[in-house]
Amino acid sequence: MIAYNRQWLDALQVRDAAAFWHGKHLLNDEAWQAIRHGYHVGFYSPNVFIRIGLGIFCFILVGGVAGLAALAFSVLSLDSLPVTGTLLFLFGVCTLAALEFFVRSRHHHGSGIDDVLLYIGASQLIGGLCLIFSFSEEPLFYCCLALPILVIGAIRYADTLLTALAYCCLLAIVCLIANEINFLMPQVLPFLGILFSGAAYWLARTQKQKMSWRFWSANLRVVETMSLILLYLSGNFWTLQYVGEELSGLYSISFPWFFWAFTFAIPALYVWFGLRRKDRLLLGVGLGCVAMAVFTFRYFFHLMPLAGASTLSGAFLFALAYLCIRRLKKGGLPFTYNAEDAEKPMFSDAEALLAAQAFGAKTEPADGISFGGGKFGGGGAGGDY
């Protein structure tokens, strides 16, 4: 299903992991050179500056072609919404065909051109379908039209941005369906968000451990992050109060004791499990949720002036950060303060890699490998764009 060469993706992940271990002096120069020559990667993946330049050039080129075509059809008086939507949809098909050419024939991978073509093509398909139906249907209908395009694009090109959009689109579909039951909507929405985010997080976390999903590890990481945030926001007291006022004009929340407990318990659980499991994602999101919990309490209860509360909170956080930094610098913990250890691909089977290279054998990626890197359009293949 993925458009990129699978063998090259595997080789790229192995080389990224080996580069990290070589930087840590866990691989000698001979083993590192053997891995570089043994795992060939034929992708065209320029540096970030060339990538940005190619992306801008591609955007201008595609926009110019689309503008000329739109001007020509406008002269022919073919400017009704259904006709315009059909032409836009066909432009999207041509754009994605060009994307397939660059990926399959020119081996572009995170070059800027493939990213821009993917986003423009997906936007044209979705926009064309909306124009064909003249925006006369309910929002649920258009969300159902957009979801397959976003999901297929995210899976085929391992793109994290489309993954996030597909997640939001699916969430909107669930909420719009629940909105049809008007008398249950205010009471059901928080629990629906909790169930949806919990199921998505469990699914992403279990599938991430499987070798067959290794090319989509960055996508699953996005789903995990968004699910953790949504889970907390679904039960945060301030969020429910604000959403209730905006959607249905309700100024009171059912089961307030439950959601107040939820507001403070979930951040504590995130931090606890993040420390216990050595999960940086859980820990980071948990600390952000702690800040949200403090803001929620401050919004409803004013125990002291804002200036005094800010001063005391800042002093406490500064002292806590100072103590944590000193403790982490001493070592002996599963966490570190060294900046070079952050966001690096971790090879959990490093011993097998070292042993195999020592005897001159070529290694294959082992099950349970967790690779990192890649932000948009790269699917965790390495490099922070």
d(CA 293, CA 378): 34
Look at residues 112, 120, 124, 130 and name the one whose alpha carbon lies nearest to residue 56. 112
Q: What rounded mean pLDDT belongs to the chain?
A: 81
Instruction: Report the pLDDT value the prediction gives residue 352, as an integer from 0 to 100.
Output: 46
Split into its structural domains, the chain has a count of: 1
| Token digits of residue 133 | 């139906």
274 lies in some domain? no
**In a 3-state reduction of DSSP, which class is residue 277?**
coil
State the sign of the Cα–Cα–Cα–Cα dihedral 181, 182, 188, 190: positive
Domain assignment present for 311: yes
Asked if residue 131 is part of any domain, the answer here is no
Other CB atoms within a 10 A radius of the CB of residue 188 amount to 15
Whether 165 is in a domain gets the answer no
**DSSP 8-state class, residue 361:** P
Please name the residues in contact with 282: beta carbons below 8 A apart, sequence gap of 6 or more: 228, 270, 271, 273, 274
Residue 250 has what pLDDT?
A: 55
Give domain status of residue 313, yes or no: yes
- What is the structure's pLDDT at 90? 92
Domain housing 330:
304-336
Record the tokens describing residue 68, joined without a space: 């000329």
pLDDT in tens, 67-109: 888 787 765 555 678 888 888 999 999 999 999 999 999 999 9
pLDDT reported for residue 354: 44
CA 249 from chain centre, in angstroms, equals 33
pLDDT for the residue numbered 338: 62
pLDDT of residue 168: 95
Answer yes or no: is 190 within a domain: no
Question: What percentage of the chain reaches a pLDDT higher than 70?
Answer: 79
pLDDT of residue 385: 38
| Total length of the chain | 385
Q: Rounded CA gap, 27 and 353, in Å? A: 9
| Per-residue pLDDT tens over the stretch 312-350 | 877 877 887 787 777 767 766 666 666 555 545 444 444
Residue 376 scores a pLDDT above 50? no
Q: Which residues, in sequence order, are CB contacts of 21 under 8 Å at separation 6+?
A: 27, 347, 350, 353, 354
b/e code 132-144 from CB counts within 10 Å (16+ = b): beeeeeeeeebbb
pLDDT at 341: 54
The mean per-residue pLDDT over the stretch 240-249 comes to: 68
**CA 258, 264, 269 angle in degrees (round to 5)?**
105
Per the model's pLDDT, the better-predicted residue between 349 and 40 turns out to be: 40
pLDDT at 133: 86
- In one letter, which amino acid is 20? F
Cα(130)–Cα(126) distance, integer angstroms: 6
Task: Show the DSSP H helices in the chain as ranges.
Answer: 6-23, 29-38, 48-75, 81-104, 113-132, 139-157, 160-179, 185-208, 217-235, 237-248, 256-276, 280-300, 306-329, 350-358
Q: Which residues pair with 44 in a beta bridge?
A: 108
Q: Is residue 331 part of a domain?
A: yes
| Residue that wins the pLDDT comparison between 286 and 20 | 286
Question: Which pLDDT band holds residue 170 (cuts at 50, 70, 90)?
Answer: very high
Distance CA 140, CA 176 (A): 6
314 in a domain, yes or no? yes
213, two tokens: 């999903």
